Structure 1
Amino acid sequence: MNDETAARASLISSASDAGSKVFATILTRSPISRIDIARHTGLSQAAVTKAVSPLVAAGLVDAPPAAHRDGNPGRPVAPVSIIPDAIVMLGVKVNVDEVVAVATDLATAVIAGARRALAAHDPESVVEAIAAVVADLERELGPKASAIAGLGVSVSGDVDAESGVVRESAIMGWSEEPLGGMLQQRLGRPVTLENDVHALTVGEHWFGVGLGTASFAIVTIGRGIGSGLHLNGQVVSGAYGVAGEIGHLPLADPARVCSCGRLGCVEAVASTSAIEAAVSAAHGREIGIDEAARLSHEGDPAARDAFREAAVIIGTAIATLVNLAGPELVIIGGEGVSNFDLFDRNLRESFEAHAFGAAARCRIVTRPHTFQDWARGAAAAAIQSLVQ
């Protein structure tokens, strides 16, 4: 990080509450007039002008000369816009078998990408793999690497973002691992550690579908069943950072053991590994998810039952989430979306059967997310952490 980037990052992170609101509004709604910034933030136009001036001076925001709307006299319109390449942020998604990384600009447009296979799952090996992809990104960025302001890292599981500790990750086999501190010491950069679905939700909140939606939830289907909540303009983490964990609602048969060690979790029936295990047991051999999907399409009873059972319990879990939190939209993402035709009808029927009253009006849509999208979400979480 060069001196100019450090100064810009310091200006953003040390801004007043009003300054943070103004910068976040410009960041997510650029280009936007000062009048509209005032409307969105509830601040006076004088307060907006005061907050914009240092951002312009620091090279974070562009403010061309004011002009009258349509050439008519009256209050001038002075649109301001973010300067995307003023800061570069890195984002890393930790998977069970690899780490996927991106470098983004301030608007989270991806400008470079890298990935490394994981030879082992222990935190030290993961830290070294992340250090390797960061070095790969720095080489690809060349001179732009001096604009890197920090790193966002997302991991599946119970993550304490404030302390940088992974309290529990069944997929990685971790408990109380201080991954954030380990990375900061190894890389010498500011690190934001976040749950992977919460990070994805931050990305959608600031730069995706959440920008025009008052409330939404993301539900991801794949190796785990995750969810993130965006309510009243904020991503909800809860007091302990685990708000919205529908994958561990005890809705399944108590005889089903989840990878987290608990009984009856949604994931114990609906995760990729649970579907694979059910179909493999029925056929007496190991069957992966792609073959299980093919068998289901071909009418294999065991495969069809496994996907049906998964769809029903996910639909019930989504109805539970919607009944409690009331989002207007649920976005289903994750690698399981590629086989969503096997979930769709049963999931929606189950949701409608359990959604209470007007909650049934909640729309359910699919949105494919690549692992690079997940890494971009980690970068968005790091940007949000800097701003807020």
Structure 2
Amino acid sequence: MSDVPTARDNDSTTGDDATVPAAPKWGRLPTAPAVTTVLTEILKHGPIPRIEVARRTGLSQTAVTKAVARLAEHGLISAHDHRRSSAPGRPVQPLSVHAEAALAIGITVRVDAIFGVVTTLRADVRHSIHRPLASTVPAAVADSVATVIDLLLADLGPDAERVLGAGVAVSGEVDSDLGIVRNSPRLNWTDVPLRDLVRERRELPVLVDNDVRALSVAEEWFGIGVDANSFAILTIGAGIGCGLYVNGDIVTGDHGVAGEIGHLPLGPSELLCTCGRYGCVETVASTSAIVHAIRTTRQDPLLTMREAVALARGGDAVARGAFERAGSVLGLALATVANLVGPSSILVAGESVANYDLFDLRLREAFEAHVFGSAGACTIVAKSHTFEDWARGSAASAIQALVKGKLAAQS
């Protein structure tokens, strides 16, 4: 990626209108309960007839019609007559979201870089940017986040008025309600008021979230979770994360901690984790753990992950063993998740999905050996993943908060 924002051809508008009415600025969407419910349903399932919206939501057709009228006033949705001219009866008018009526910014913070995107209301990426991060000192990170926001807004030009807010995601324990990063071992942060730090620099609504939880929101509304009652996401990379969607809701935990699969004590008890505890899944399955194991055995301290993958695919026993041990521990961890919450599917994502072939066999063997009963009916699917996807997740998290009226309340 370049450090300069890059525009993309936009084909995400779902309406037929030539122009899109301007959306309210800075986090102001209509938030009456019925309106929120209807907008959510159209976002997730549109184009969709209003009678189907009523069936899915349990609202009366009158309530749906009133909510649709309110949303149309704000330029957020449109209805299209799909009846043929000779067809009898009332026209069928599927409802669609004007995806371009409002935009959101999504940012993910890594140890050495910041990735930012602008998305439509349906989380389709319009612009993206990548900036190096020289320091993880909270004030310096907030400065860099503000710079990324400025660059994205500048690249939008007049369309910047459609930006309603920003989502900023980091790894670790995050209190989204207060916008505080309680604990992020990778950033070496404790109780950092990231939302306030960003708001001090840029006046727009900001949601701070855990990166895996934000990714789960993107899948809930715009991915595998659209028609699912429960699903889980496993992310493999510098850390091992897990997002949980159970019985129609993202699991957040009362204290901002949920789905910390990377810190289940399923690894060797003598291995020290970055969290300060021993035997975590991350001590075996993270990219750094895999590389460290191969470096140590081969006595090659400069070995890179790319070289480790090449060795494993070339049949090197040491390298293959490190990946296979990681796969076994990950499979055991996923079986634990399946036994606890019974998801219909588990999505494997993250930077290391490109190397999933090196994990797959042992992961599935361990999963099948430890999953209980019908919990084993869940499907395991791998999905290619980039850092831009993490930033898109942050935007999706902000969009969900905007629709539910939670982000404007924080501004």
Shorter-chain TM-score: which interval? over 0.9
Structure 1 residues 315-324 or 353-362, which shifts more? 353-362
Matched letter for residue 155 of structure 1: V
Distance 2:153 2:142 in 1: 16
1:313 is the counterpart of 2:340? no
CA distance in 2, matches of 1:29, 1:308: 39
**Which residue number corresponds to residue 178 of structure 1?**
193
Q: CA deviation at 1:216?
A: 1.2
1:285 alignment partner, SS class: coil
2:25 paired with 1:10: no
Equivalent position of 2:41 in the other structure: 25
TM-score of the superposed pair, with normalisation by structure 1: 0.95
Say if 2:79 and 2:93, in contact at 8 Å, map to a contact too.
yes
1:5 Cα deviation (Å)?
Answer: 3.9
Change (3 A) 1:370 1:299: same
Alignment of 1:162 with 2:177, yes or no, is yes
Distance between the aligned counterparts of 1:170 and 1:9, measured in 2?
A: 31
Partner of 1:225: 240
Contact 2:166 2:207 in 1 (8 A): yes
| Cα deviation code 1:155-208 (max 9, x no counterpart) | 111111111111111111111111111111211110011111111111011011
- Give yes or no for contact 1:8–1:58 (8 Å, CA) kept in 2: no
Give 3-state SS (helix, strand or coil) of 1:254's partner: coil
Q: In structure 2, which of residues 365, 370, 387 is the aligned counterpart of residue 371 of structure 1?
A: 387
Hey, what's the Cα distance between the residues in 2 that align with 1:30 and 1:133?
Answer: 31
Contact in 2 for aligned 1:100/1:372 (Cα 8 Å) = yes
Tell me whether 1:89 sits opposite 2:104 in the alignment.
yes
Q: 2:58 aligns with which of 33, 42, 55?
A: 42
CA–CA distance in 1 between the matches of 2:25 and 2:325? 54
Alignment of 1:321-360 (within 5 A): 321-360=337-376
Q: 1:60 aligned to 2:76?
A: yes
Greater share of helix residues, 1 or 2? 1
CA shift for structure 1 position 130: 1.1
Residue type of the alignment partner of 1:177 = V
SS at match of 1:125: helix
Deviations 1:216-270 (A, max 9, x none): 1110001000010112222221222222211111111221111111111101111
Distance 1:68 1:215 in 2: 35
Please say if 1:202 is aligned against 2:217. Answer: yes
Question: 2:276 matched to 1:261?
Answer: yes
Give the secondary-structure state (helix, strand or coil) at the position aligned to 1:338.
helix
> Take 2:247 and 2:25, find their aligned partners in 1: how far apart are those partners?
32
Paired with 2:57 and 2:358, the residues of 1 have a C-alpha distance of 44
Structure 2 unaligned residues grouped into runs of 5+: 1-20, 405-411
Q: Give aligned-pair identity as a percent.
A: 47
Note the alpha carbon deviations across 1:300-351, whole angstroms, 9 max, x for none: 2322221111111000000000000000111101011111111010010000
Query: Are the equivalent residues in 1 in contact too, given 2:27–2:165 (CA < 8 A)?
Result: no
Whole-angstrom CA distance in 1 between matches of 2:82 and 2:366: 55
Structure 1 match to 2:409:
none
CA distance in 2: counterparts of 1:71 and 1:259, whole angstroms: 68
Deviation at 1:55? 0.9
Q: Tell whether the 8 Å contact from 1:68 to 1:74 is kept in structure 2 after alignment.
A: no
Kindly tell me: are residues 178 and 7 of structure 1, through their superposed partners in 2, closer, same or farther at Cα, counting changes over 3 Å?
closer
1:113 aligns with 2:128: yes
**Aligned AA for 2:52?**
D
Conserved 8 A contact 2:23-2:76: no
Residue 104 of structure 2 aligns to a residue whose secondary structure is strand
Deviations 1:57-105 (A, max 9, x none): 11111134x6757854445422221111111100001111100000011
Corresponding residue number in structure 2 for 1:152: 167
Contact (CA 8 Å) 1:8, 1:60: kept in 2 or not? no
Alignment: residue pair count: 383
**Structure 1 unaligned runs (5+)?**
none
| C-alpha distance after superposition, 1:101-138 (max 9, x if no partner) | 00011111111111110001111111111111111111
Aligned equivalents of 1:79 and 1:210: distance in 2? Answer: 22
Letter in 2 for 1:366: A
DSSP 3-state at the match of 1:10: coil
